[in-house]
Amino acid sequence: SLKGKRAIVTGSNSGIGLGVAHELARAGSDVVLNSFTDRAEDHALAEEMARMHGVAVRYIKADMSEPAECRALVEQAGGCDILVNNAGIQHVAPVEAFPIEKWDAVIAINLSSAFHTIAAAVPGMRARGWGRVINIASAHGLTASPYKAAYVAAKHGIVGLTKTVALETAREPVTVNAICPGYVLTPLVEAQIPDTMAKYGMGREEVVEKVMLERQPSRQFATVEELGGTAVFLCSDAAAQITGTTISVDGGWTAL
């Protein structure tokens, strides 16, 4: 059980982050939810999760594109035992037309935020003698697709960051790993469907089957519950010697 542990999950008012937060709470961990929005619904989500799982859940607003806010999130939470770097955005465009501000935003939110939260969280893990850092990378941390230059670069980058910090904490009871999902049907993926439909001149069903799940040999989306279960496993005693590596949850994508 993760009773008595505190988990911070960045970007957790939606999608995979919310699913991971739920599974960590179900396993007994207290949870800090985060996004940049700070709406009444975000705080309501925290209350609902606390009620459902009988753990303490807080929502803390922080914009993961801002280095100081990433570090302040960890401080305001009072440190954490489990850090899940999940916040992420996507932008799809050919490299020569890729807007500079989109490149900067994707790198800031999908990669640099994890550097800042890790730097802020690891000293506390060290001091308390236990820690788990879980970075939500992607199959795009291991392979590429056209038109996703910033995303693929950021996700490869976070896999490198994972390995580096794992080496820096290797002699301590702190592990650092990345989970590499294939396609998971979340709002982020939903949002890519119209653009992809336009780009390939296809209908919704065709895009889902021929473009998205074409890369996923199982021909099924992974679920947020499965990703949460993988995170809980990485927090278990069985995973104590798993560090500096990636776990793919991608229906065989990266086996191709």
Applying CB under 6 A, among 12, 162, 175, 243 the residue interacting with ligand NAD is 12
Report the sign of the C-alpha dihedral through residues 73, 75, 79, 85, in that order: positive
Under the binding rule (CB under 6 A), the answer on residue 106 touching ligand NAD is no
Under the binding rule (CB under 6 A), the answer on residue 124 touching ligand NAD is no
Residue 172 CB, nearest approach to ligand NAD (Å): 26
What number of chain residues touch ligand NAD (CB under 6 A)? 27
- Complex with ligand NAD: residue 4 or 146, whichever CB lies closer: 146
**Cα–Cα distance for residue pair 53/256, rounded to 1 Å:** 39
Name the one range near ligand NAD by CB under 6 A: 15-23, 126-134, 203-211, 234-242: 15-23
Tokens of 190: 């939903």
Under the binding rule (CB under 6 A), the answer on residue 230 touching ligand NAD is no
Q: Which residue has the tokens 């490149």?
A: 103
Under the binding rule (CB under 6 A), the answer on residue 109 touching ligand NAD is yes
Under the binding rule (CB under 6 A), the answer on residue 14 touching ligand NAD is yes
Under the binding rule (CB under 6 A), the answer on residue 64 touching ligand NAD is yes
Beta bridge partners of 57: 31
Under the binding rule (CB under 6 A), the answer on residue 35 touching ligand NAD is yes
Name the one range near ligand NAD by CB under 6 A: 22-30, 164-172, 179-187, 236-244: 179-187
Residue 2 CB, nearest approach to ligand NAD (Å): 21
Q: How many helices (H) and strands (E) does the chain have?
A: 9, 7
| Catalytically annotated residue among 59, 147, 151, 183 | 151
Tokens of 182: 């294939």
DSSP string, 42-105: HHHHHHHHHHHHTS-EEEEE--TTSHHHHHHHHHHHT--SEEEE---------GGG--HHHHHH
Applying CB under 6 A, among 2, 8, 175, 183 the residue interacting with ligand NAD is 183
Identify whether the C-beta of residue 89 lies closer than 8 Å to the C-beta of residue 140.
no
Name the one range near ligand NAD by CB under 6 A: 59-67, 166-174, 228-236, 237-245: 59-67
Q: Which residue has the tokens 């969280």?
A: 121
Q: What are phi and psi of 176, to 5 degrees?
A: -135, 115
Burial of 184 (0-12, 13-18, 19+ CB in 10 A): buried
Applying CB under 6 A, among 107, 153, 188, 239 the residue interacting with ligand NAD is 188
147 flagged as catalytic:
no
- Complex with ligand NAD: residue 185 or 202, whichever CB lies closer: 185
- Element (H or E) spanning 6, and its range? strand 6-9
Instruction: State how far the alpha carbon of 178 is from the alpha carbons of 85, 92, 104, 165, 224, in Å.
Output: 9, 23, 22, 11, 15
- Complex with ligand NAD: residue 14 or 254, whichever CB lies closer: 14
Beta bridge partners of 60: 34
Residues with catalytic function: 151
Residues that bind ligand NAD (CB under 6 A): 11-17, 35-36, 63-65, 86-89, 109-110, 136, 138, 181, 183-184, 186-189
